[in-house]
Structure 1
Amino acid sequence: MISAVFTSLLASGRAQFNLRALDARRRFPALDMAQFSAFLHDGLDPLAVAVAAAAPERAGSFTVAAYDMALELVAHGLAGPAAKNPFLNTVWRELAPCFAPLLASAPVPVLGMLSNAAIHVSGVAGARPAQWRDEMATIAPQLASVAELRAVGQILAWRAGIAHFRLGAIAAADSLPPHLALAAFGEPCADWPQLRTQLLENPWRGNGQGREFGAFTGLGGDFATPPQLRATHDGFIVFSGERHYLLVADAHGAVLHGATPDEYVQASMQLPASVRLDGATVQIGARSMALDLPPGEIALAANEHTLAITSSCTHAVRLLPLA
């Protein structure tokens, strides 16, 4: 049932809300008002209650701004019970109320940022949206501005599996007070300049085991044929099933982007001197690892930080830290 607070806010501006809904239906003929009504109850009601508690004098202006945004999100199929991805509904209902003071002062930037982040994080294969939501909720009381919210959101998106955000996340942390940057990286007792150097030098910091990525498309994976890899500074160019990809991986996740045949041709096939394959055993410096793959069917590719292991017998890529 809709809250008394939200009922009162809607009633006090009934005429303007009706006009806004009418205008939205003209601009978006496919807008389903039943879906919109459901999203008002599920998504906007908890927000209005939270903002009214934090800054009652701004609850009315916030509700107007959020109502307009809700209309557009539902019209584009991004919010409501029939949303393409329900995570945005979850963010409005569960996470956004944690930012009530910021929403009261800057409703459009804050709600827009949270909505865009929800769409992006949940749209990246292999990312962990629930982790991002939970960590954002935990750090919310420490954030005092939209700029801090944006920077921390990017850091936590990287830590939730969006590997190509790594350098951007580190740069974003430079704009934060050191204690907040450390909190965002989950290391409140560290020294920020030292941690920053370590993160820049070692993408696998905190993960010495590496990870496995990829599977056969017939089983819901990414690769139609066993992938072939060549190294670049940023990751690996992958060739599989007549398609090319850029694979970026680090301690927190692995992400696949599109690439071109030219990028594959130009990528490196050179291995570091510290890496050697002996039958089904990989030597990385003084380390030795026996692989559960047939000898003679194994291929290696490596850049400065990562060794990638592939085989004609599997659709998976094994990624190991070189450090």
Structure 2
Amino acid sequence: MDEPALSSPLAAALERDRERFNALVAERIASGQRFDAAALAAHMRNAVSPVIDAVDRVDPGSVAPVTDVLFRMTLDLIARDLAGDGTRYPGITEGWRRIFPAVVPLLVRAPQELAGSLTNALYNVSVSTGVVPERWIDDMTALARHCVEVSELLDVGKIAAWRAGLAHYRRGALDACRSLSPDLVALALGVSGAVASYHSMIERLERDPWLDPAVAATERIPEPSLRVVAVTGAFRGFGGPFRVPPKLYARDGQLVAKDDEAAWILMADRFGATWHRCDDTGLLVQTFPDAVVGRDGEARIGTQRASIAALRQPWTQAFDGTTLGVTLALSHRIWLLACTP
């Protein structure tokens, strides 16, 4: 299959300022930064060309400044091995190709700010274990046309990143919901039906990390039940954080998992789980009378009960106030239990 050629608007912009662009490349090489001519050509062709086509259709006068910003950012990506056909994280190129053309009316207003913020977000969703970059790219491409300000798009990006699996974005995403219009909040959260109360919906989502936004949007939510809401963690050799089966602790309202080498804060909710290295000071074995799994696999959180055969003979347990984490002596996995509709 033939590779796509540079678009006429991009080719013309590069030709007009050829000496300056060549000088930028020469500066990078002279400074010792990584440079790959093939990667530059591939990224300009596959990622930048569609953007400049879209800019030319909307605001031809912005072709030159946007080209300049994206060329410089492409050099930055190449220096970090994040651009080109052989990049480790193709989601960055795909995000440029799909999201940037969709946000051109905003991009021409603030090319450096917006392209930089979106590229940083694409990197974060690409490198995070368990996160699917395509989900974030799909959501952002669909939501872009509903945003009339750069700040709106960036807030929507936080919500989309949370829903793509970055559980540690949850608080920031819910804060962003308070600054957006109700209609945009519903779209960003994937709520298609009527919302009884936006204030109540956001409060419910803050209280229950496992609650579906569509359920939180209803007038009356169903009664909660105790169940396994997620199973996370894995052996380091299979892409997980643990060298040996971890023990679980609670500290400062957070779950902390520790193997024989390191400790991690576990942040998890209905959209995903992320691990964050931390120190292991103050990790104490605790008992949680109102949140426990017995040796027979009988689980209890408050007044809710459930029988979970897979959790017979639990090894360690910890409770963060909403979620009960359980480990087994011969497993690198962590079972998470909660009471939720």
TM-score (norm 1): 0.92
Query: In structure 2, what residue type is equivalent to 1:142?
Result: H
Note if contact 2:293-2:311 (Cα within 8 Å) is conserved in structure 1. Answer: no
Whether 1:225 aligns to 2:231 is no
In 2, the alpha carbon distance for the partners of 1:218 and 1:12 equals 51
Q: Which residue of 1 aligns with 2:327?
A: 310
Taking the aligned partners of 1:6 and 1:261, their CA distance within structure 2 comes to 52
Query: Could you tell me how far apart the structure 2 residues matched to 1:58 and 1:28 are?
Result: 31
Pairing 1:110–2:119 present: no
Q: CA deviation at 1:213?
A: 0.5
Calculate percent identity across the aligned residue pairs.
30
Question: Which range moves more in the overlay, 226-235 or 116-125?
Answer: 226-235
Whether the 8 Å contact between 1:244 and 1:264 is mirrored in structure 2 is no
Partner of 1:279: 296
User: Which residue of structure 2 lines up, in the alignment, with residue 196 of structure 1?
Assistant: 202
C-alpha distance in structure 2 between counterparts of 1:317 and 1:12, whole Å:
58
Shift of 1:282: 1.8
Choose the corresponding residue for 2:234, options 215, 219, 228: 215
Any residues of structure 2 matched to 1:239-278 within 5 Å, and which? 239-265=258-284, 269-273=286-290, 275-277=292-294
Give the Cα separation in 2 of the matches to 1:160 and 1:114.
Answer: 15
Counterpart residue number, 1:153: 157
- 3-state SS in 2 of match to 1:93: helix
User: Contact 2:323/2:336 (CA < 8 Å) preserved in 1?
Assistant: yes
- CA distance in structure 2 between the partners assigned to 1:276 and 1:260 by the alignment: 27
1:182 is displaced (CA, Å) by 2.2
Question: Cα gap change, 1:115/1:71 in structure 2, threshold over 3 Å: closer, same or farther?
Answer: same
Aligned to 1:165: 169
Q: Identify the residue that residue 98 of structure 2 maps to in structure 1.
A: 94
Whole-angstrom CA distance in 2 between matches of 1:236 and 1:246 = 6
Give the residue type in structure 1 aligned to 2:307.
Answer: M
* Rounded Cα–Cα distance in structure 2 between residues aligned with 1:293 and 1:154: 35
Aligned partners of 1:233 and 1:304 also within 8 Å: no
Equivalent position amino acid for 2:231 in 1: E
* Counterpart-to-counterpart distance in 2, 1:29 and 1:169: 36
Cα distance change of structure 1 residues 289 and 271 upon mapping to structure 2, 3 Å threshold: same
Amino acid of the structure 2 residue aligned with 1:176: L
Does the 8 Å CA contact 2:257/2:266 hold for their aligned counterparts? yes
1:292 aligns with 2:292: no
Change in CA separation of 1:11 and 1:148 when aligned onto 2, cut-off 3 Å: same
- Aligned residue for 2:218? none
Per-residue deviation, 1:222:
2.1
Structure 1: gaps (5+ residues): none
SS of residue paired to 2:191: coil
Give yes or no for contact 1:58–1:104 (8 Å, CA) kept in 2.
yes
Runs of at least 5 residues in structure 2 that lack an aligned partner in the other structure = 214-226
Q: TM-score, normalised by structure 2?
A: 0.87
SS at match of 2:103: helix
1:221-253 deviation per Cα after TM superposition (whole angstroms, max 9, x unaligned): 321221111123543111112321111111111
